[in-house]
């Protein structure tokens, strides 16, 4: 049984945390337990919850009293994760999902209906293009794609039935930076929502809600976990914007498991330090890659030569840890460089402590049509590196020896 002083202390701490730094909130906020005086968050591995009487059960099921009913709806471990990330993103409420894609599906199907229209950046994760083009179209929801950095194109694409704008910034894999504040103004002047995929930045580097976005989403699978263990996602926004997302998700059942929530809670505790280390190595690597004779072009918002460098400085605290580059030559050269690395992992994931190397055109973005890839600027000689937490010199040396064989 929770002791009274502990409950009061936890209540005071909850208020106190609203004024603390993001790195502190990431470690201490959102905790809902303490029932057994445990210091670390407990994993509530339970599918349902019990009541003292039929009347109490009735009151809880009808919403008269607060309480858990069933883990597809709410679960204390999942709630800790939701409360923590909501505070960090500056949103009133978060809704956790079984994956980033489940969070996105819940956002769009929770808010949109047949006949509605989305304007989306063309530089988004490939599966999201699949969601828009193969799933939402079947339900009568259409999408127009525009360059994330062409403000006129965003305006021109708006239709009377446009209900949502969707941006990933910086984009994957080219690091294009969309102007979140300007897009929020555009969306609101047409009564549409601005939804931002904040995977590449995490709340440590960027808070889209503070810039005017209505809903921010994460694939928790990436930096929030940070060690490539679990798949999960989350949507964050106001109560009003989250209720339809929650309503959809609790019905279709794509909820986050308590175990995954526990991994993400613990991931958040080290997120601030990890992001600083990731970003510091990425910036050094981007500068170094620019000087390599086998490299034609480097894409990283932290480079002064990047077209949206100033905007990235304004809306982000650091520049992120994904660096993409084109090698001289074609797909064969890119594949050879990837195959010749010794340390880096060849995988599609990013945001891991382990550095990863990917050929976007034939993996993460292979389901896009060649035309869509060309529109997004993803060439066959492009390589993406997610800079991990290994010693910087080791990451650089591995790429140096692979590039030297080209
Ligand atoms: C930028 C971005 N958004 C969303 C997703 C989807 O997340 P998940 O794989 O957790 O469903 C991914 C996955 O790689 C991604 O890279």
On whether the CB atoms of residues 323 and 348 are closer than 8 A, the answer is no
> Is the model's pLDDT at 1 over the cut of 60?
no
Question: Could you say which DSSP state residue 89 is in?
Answer: H
Q: What's the rounded Cα separation, in Å, for the pair 88 and 38?
A: 23
Instruction: Give yes or no for residue 99 CB within 6 A of ligand 1.
Output: yes
Using the mean position of ligand 1's atoms as its centre, give its distance from the Cα of residue 126 in Å: 9
Atom of ligand 1 nearest to the CA of 221: 10
In sequence order, what are the beta bridge partners of 118? 143, 164
Whole-number pLDDT of residue 2 = 62
Closest residue to atom 16 of ligand 1, CA basis: 125
> Is the model's pLDDT at 367 over the cut of 90?
no
Q: Which three-class secondary structure state does DSSP give residue 198?
A: coil
Angle between helices 271-290 and 392-403 (to 10 degrees): 30
Instruction: Give yes or no for residue 101 CB within 6 A of ligand 1.
Output: yes
Q: Could you tell which of 221, 223, 232, 320 is best to mutate to test the pocket of ligand 1, judged by most ligand atoms within 8 Å of the CB?
A: 221
On whether the CB atoms of residues 365 and 378 are closer than 8 A, the answer is yes
Whole-number pLDDT of residue 372 = 79
SS (H, E, C) 128-160: HHHHHHHHHHHHCCEEEEECCCCHHHHHHHCCC
Q: Which CATH number fits domain 76-269: 3.30.300.180, 3.40.640.10, 3.40.50.1110, 2.30.40.10?
A: 3.40.640.10
CA distances from residue 99 to 84, 114, 221, 256 in whole angstroms, order as listed: 18, 24, 7, 8
182-189: long-range contacts, CB 8 A cutoff, minimum separation 24: 182/151, 183/154, 183/213, 184/211, 184/212, 184/213, 184/214, 185/212, 186/151, 186/154, 186/155, 186/158, 187/214, 188/212
Instruction: Give yes or no for residue 107 CB within 6 A of ligand 1.
Output: no
Question: Looking at 26-35, 92-101, 235-244, which range is the least confident one?
Answer: 26-35
> Is the model's pLDDT at 161 over the cut of 70?
yes
Q: Which residue has the tokens 């704008």?
A: 165
Atom of ligand 1 nearest to the CA of 197: 3
Mean pLDDT of 6-26: 92
On whether the CB atoms of residues 95 and 228 are closer than 8 A, the answer is no
Instruction: Give yes or no for residue 233 CB within 6 A of ligand 1.
Output: yes
Mean pLDDT of 271-299: 98
Q: Could you tell which of 195, 219, 224, 234 is best to mutate to test the pocket of ligand 1, judged by most ligand atoms within 8 Å of the CB?
A: 219
Atom of ligand 1 nearest to the CA of 103: 11
Q: What is the pLDDT of residues 216-259, one digit of tens each?
A: 999 999 999 999 999 999 999 999 999 999 999 999 999 999 99
- Taking the CA atoms of 262, 267, 272 and 273 in sequence, report the sign of the dihedral they define: positive
Mean pLDDT of the chain: 95
Q: How far is CA 190 from the centre of its chain?
A: 26
Instruction: Give yes or no for residue 260 CB within 6 A of ligand 1.
Output: no
Mean pLDDT of 81-106: 98
Question: Could you say which DSSP state residue 387 is in?
Answer: -
Asked if CATH classification 3.30.200.20 holds for the domain at 271-403, the reply, yes or no, is: no
Mean pLDDT of 186-192: 98
On whether the CB atoms of residues 322 and 328 are closer than 8 A, the answer is no
Q: Where are the domains of the chain?
A: 76-269, 271-403
pLDDT above 70 coverage of the chain, percent: 100
Q: Could you tell which of 126, 127, 148 is best to mutate to test the pocket of ligand 1, judged by most ligand atoms within 8 Å of the CB?
A: 127
CA distances from residue 281 to 146, 222, 234, 347 in whole angstroms, order as listed: 31, 17, 27, 20
């Amino acid at each position: 049984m929770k002791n009274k002083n502990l409950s009061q202390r936890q209540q005071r701490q909850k208020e106190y945390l609203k004024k603390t730094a993001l790195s502190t909130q990431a470690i201490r906020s959102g905790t809902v337990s303490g029932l057994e005086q445990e210091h670390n968050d407990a994993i509530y591995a339970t599918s349902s919850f019990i009541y003292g009487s039929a009347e109490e059960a009735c009151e809880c099921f009808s919403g008269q009293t607060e309480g858990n009913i069933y883990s597809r709806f709410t679960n204390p471990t999942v709630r800790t994760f939701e409360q923590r990330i909501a505070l960090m993103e500056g949103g009133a409420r978060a809704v956790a999902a079984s994956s980033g894609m489940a969070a996105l599906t819940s956002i769009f199907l929770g808010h949109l209906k047949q006949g509605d229209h989305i304007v989306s950046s063309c530089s988004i994760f490939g599966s999201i293009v699949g969601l828009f083009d193969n799933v939402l179209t079947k339900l009568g929801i259409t999408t127009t794609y525009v360059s994330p950095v062409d403000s006129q194109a965003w305006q021109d694409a708006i239709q009377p039935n446009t209900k949502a704008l969707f941006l990933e910034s910086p984009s994957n894999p080219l690091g294009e930076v969309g102007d979140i504040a300007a897009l929020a103004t555009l969306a609101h002047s047409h009564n549409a929502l601005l939804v931002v995929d904040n995977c590449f930045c995490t709340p440590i580097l960027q808070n889209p809600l503070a810039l005017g976005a209505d809903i921010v989403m994460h694939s928790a699978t990436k930096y929030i976990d940070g060690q490539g263990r679990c798949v999960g996602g989350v949507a964050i926004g106001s109560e009003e914007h989250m209720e339809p997302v929650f309503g959809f998700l609790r019905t279709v059942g794509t909820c986050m498991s308590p175990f995954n929530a526990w991994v993400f809670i613990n991931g958040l505790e080290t997120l601030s330090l990890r992001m600083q280390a990731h970003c510091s190595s990425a910036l050094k690597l981007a500068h170094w890659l620019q000087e390599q004779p086998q490299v034609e072009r480097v894409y990283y918002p932290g480079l002064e030569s990047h077209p949206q460098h100033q905007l990235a400085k304004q809306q982000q605290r650091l520049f992120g840890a994904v660096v993409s580059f084109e090698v001289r030559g074609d797909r064969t050269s890119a594949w050879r460089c990837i195959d010749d690395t010794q340390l880096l992992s060849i995988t599609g994931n990013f945001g891991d402590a382990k550095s990863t190397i990917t050929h976007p055109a034939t993996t993460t973005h292979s389901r896009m049509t060649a035309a869509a890839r060309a529109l997004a600027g993803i060439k066959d000689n492009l390589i993406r590196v997610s800079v991990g937490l290994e010693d910087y010199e080791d990451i650089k040396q591995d790429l140096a020896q692979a590039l030297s064989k080209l």
